[in-house]
């Protein structure tokens, strides 16, 4: 979300946003993660709808995914109220979230009933692998995995053996209650593909023949087919790398269906084309290149526009900026929690000190500021600054000047000041909490970490570690 916010600061806001995540995103952290994502989109001027689309409606793979659709509040496609009727695209979990978070700017888009079946069974997308191919497991290995299955899964194996080749099974190796077990589904649908980072993440296929179940790994091409990628899409990487790529991709026809019905009116108006052979690759639409060139990959083209005038009115922009948090931001909360675990006790947003430091250790006269890299001018190249609109350049320059004035006022009063880039906290909050702890124990700690600045009191030489 930080990347999107920075993109929108430098460019015209995209008219539509589509975020994708696993189905558990709706309830993750008690719904807090989804709440924060939608709240951030609301602050950027987007009204949001939440839907769930399952790949099995289009291809023989069970892959439910949650999508957050963001449209400008004045877009007629987005009704100004959430859809509170349970449906296939808005199941119970989404309904609970919608009802529990009425404070968010939520809307609804009229979507047609999705397809009932993918129309293709797993057996039809399998490659024709000869019986003598080395990819088939040895008989003992296959039999061992079947023995690890629970009785009901062994019954499924027996049923497809009786069927005599008319069915195949999608097979997994899982760890249940600390034990490795085998599982199989025989309904013609593969389980959700994953990246092959471990044995339990690789999916196998079981094919009955001669009264036995023959097992092998799914191939990279079969992974691609399960994501709806046509066979003429080239795969020029090793097998395992292909499994990584397609195992972590989105299902092409599922996303195409959603884009057509939710965002299609935008594509028609702006002539944005997405190639028919996207190949399961997720187009990162916010790749903020500043040179304004058009980037081309196989199958799709998308623009990188130059900064232009603000698409919002002064009143709209003022309202959006008013909602941007100046305290209790997510990085601040993370750092405070890590410090609390170390037994550190502190004050927050001390109004009697210059700049109202985010975290204050009064006894040790240490003031901690958690700075957003963009707003405080950190890591912004001269080229990028030169391409900003004058309003934003001046705003960031004022922030930098104010930060320096606050540093001077505090250090002249005998305080140490530490400024920490918010992104560093996302990477290593525990390490930064330990660094602050060491600053409380020792006065002469040297800072070498990029992105952290330490300003020492004037009586100690007014030195700066950065």
What digits encode the pLDDT tens for the residues 93-143?
Answer: 999 999 999 899 999 999 998 987 656 789 889 988 888 888 999 999 999
Question: Model confidence at 279, in pLDDT bands (50, 70, 90)?
Answer: very low
**Domain assignments of the chain as residue spans, ordered by start:** 2-117+249-307, 128-218, 325-465
Mean pLDDT of the 309-328 span: 54
Higher pLDDT, 151 or 116: 151
Tell me which residue of 205, 207, 196, 243 sits closest to 224, measured CA to CA. Answer: 243
Q: How close are the terminal C-alpha atoms of the chain, in Å?
A: 27
Q: What pLDDT is stored for residue 288 in this prediction? A: 30
pLDDT of residue 410: 92
**Euclidean distance between CA atoms 31 and 28, whole angstroms:** 5
Distance separating alpha carbons of residues 451 and 363, to the nearest angstrom: 26
Residues 165, 250: Cα–Cα separation, whole Å: 30
Q: Looking at domain 325-465, does it have CATH number 1.10.260.40?
A: no
Question: Is pLDDT at 300 greater than 90 in this prediction?
Answer: no
Tell me the per-residue pLDDT of 34-75, one tens digit each, with 9 for 90 and over.
999 999 999 888 999 999 999 999 999 999 999 999 998 778
The answer to whether the Cα torsion of 146, 151, 152, 154 is positive or negative is positive
Task: Look at residue 298 in the predicted model and tell me its pLDDT.
Answer: 34
Share of the chain above pLDDT 70, in %: 80
pLDDT higher than threshold 60 for residue 273:
no
pLDDT of residue 427: 83
Residue appearing with tokens 């009586």 = 459
- CB-based contacts of 29-37 (< 8 A; 24+ apart in sequence): 31/97, 31/100, 31/101, 34/66, 34/68, 34/97, 35/101, 35/104, 36/1, 36/330, 37/1, 37/68
- Given this model, what pLDDT does residue 366 score? 93
d(CA 200, CA 174): 5
CA pair distance 386, 462, nearest whole angstrom: 31
Q: Mean of the pLDDT values across residues 364-389? A: 76
- Return the pLDDT at 275: 33
Confidence of residue 169 (pLDDT cuts 50, 70, 90): very high
- For 377-418, the pLDDT digits (tens) are 776 666 666 666 676 777 788 888 888 999 999 999 899 999
Q: Evaluate if residue 290 carries a pLDDT over 80.
A: no
Assigned token pair, 88: 């296939």
**Is 293's pLDDT higher than 60?**
no
Whole-angstrom Cα distance, residue 157 to residue 208?
9
**81: Cβ contacts below 8 Å, ≥ 6 apart:** 106, 107, 108
**Chain segment 195-251, per-residue pLDDT in tens:** 876 545 688 999 998 888 999 999 999 999 999 999 989 999 998 899 989 998 999
Whole-number Å distance between alpha carbons of 156 and 47 = 46
Residue with the larger pLDDT of the pair 361 and 349: 361
Residue whose entry in the numeric block shows the structure tokens 């210059």: 354
Range with top average pLDDT, 10-14, 24-28, 274-278: 24-28
User: Which range in 45-49, 130-134, 424-428, 444-448 is most confidently predicted, on average pLDDT?
Assistant: 45-49
Q: Supply the DSSP symbol for 106.
A: B
Instruction: Take residue 201 and report the two structure tokens written for it.
Output: 């993440």
Stretch 259-281: mean pLDDT: 56
CA distance 204 to 326: 50
**Which DSSP category does 219 fall into?**
P
Share of the chain above pLDDT 90, in %: 41
Q: How far apart are CA 225 and CA 81, in angstroms?
A: 38
Angstrom distance (rounded) from CA 57 to CA 47 = 27
Mean pLDDT score of the chain = 81
């Amino acid at each position: 979300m930080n990347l999107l916010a920075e993109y929108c600061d430098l460019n015209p806001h995209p008219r539509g946003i589509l975020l994708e995540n696993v189905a558990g995103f709706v309830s993750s952290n008690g719904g807090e993660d989804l709440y924060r994502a939608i709240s951030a989109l609301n602050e950027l001027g987007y009204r949001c709808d939440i839907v769930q689309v399952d790949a099995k409606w289009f291809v023989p793979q069970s892959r439910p995914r949650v999508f957050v659709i963001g449209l400008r509040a004045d877009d007629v496609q987005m009704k100004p109220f959430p859809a509170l009727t349970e449906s296939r695209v808005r199941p119970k979990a989404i309904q609970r979230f919608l009802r529990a978070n009425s404070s968010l700017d939520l809307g609804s888009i009229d979507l047609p009933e999705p397809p009932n079946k993918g129309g293709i069974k797993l057996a039809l997308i399998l490659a024709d692998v000869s019986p003598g191919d080395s990819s088939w497991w040895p008989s003992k290995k296959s039999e061992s995995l079947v023995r690890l299955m629970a009785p009901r899964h062994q019954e499924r194996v027996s049923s497809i053996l009786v069927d005599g080749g008319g069915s195949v099974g999608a097979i997994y190796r899982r760890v249940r209650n600390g034990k490795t077990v085998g599982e199989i589904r025989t309904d013609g649908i593969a389980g959700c593909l994953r990246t092959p980072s471990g044995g339990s993440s690789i999916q196998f296929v079981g094919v009955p023949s001669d009264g036995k179940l023959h097992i092998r790994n799914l191939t990279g091409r079969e992974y691609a087919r399960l994501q709806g990628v046509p066979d003429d899409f080239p795969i020029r990487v090793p097998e395992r790398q292909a499994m990584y790529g397609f195992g972590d991709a989105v299902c092409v026809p599922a996303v195409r269906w959603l884009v057509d019905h939710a965002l299609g009116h935008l594509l028609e108006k702006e002539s944005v084309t997405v190639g028919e052979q996207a190949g399961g690759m997720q187009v990162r639409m916010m790749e903020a290149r500043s040179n304004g060139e058009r980037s081309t990959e196989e199958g799709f083209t998308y623009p990188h526009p130059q900064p232009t005038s603000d698409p919002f009115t002064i009143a709209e922009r003022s309202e959006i900026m008013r909602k941007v948090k100046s305290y209790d931001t997510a990085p601040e909360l993370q750092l405070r929690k890590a410090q609390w675990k170390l037994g550190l006790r502190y004050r927050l947003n001390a109004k009697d000190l210059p700049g109202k430091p985010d975290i204050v250790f009064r006894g040790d006269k240490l003031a901690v500021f958690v700075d957003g890299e963009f707003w405080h001018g950190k890591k912004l190249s001269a080229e990028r600054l030169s391409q900003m609109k004058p309003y934003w350049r001046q705003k960031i320059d004022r922030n930098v000047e104010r930060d320096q004035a606050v540093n001077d006022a505090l250090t002249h009063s005998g305080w140490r000041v530490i400024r920490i880039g918010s992104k560093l906290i996302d990477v290593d909050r525990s390490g930064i909490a330990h660094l602050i702890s060491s600053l409380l124990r020792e006065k002469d700690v040297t800072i070498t970490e990029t992105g952290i600045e330490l300003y020492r009191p004037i009586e100690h030489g007014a030195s700066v570690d950065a």
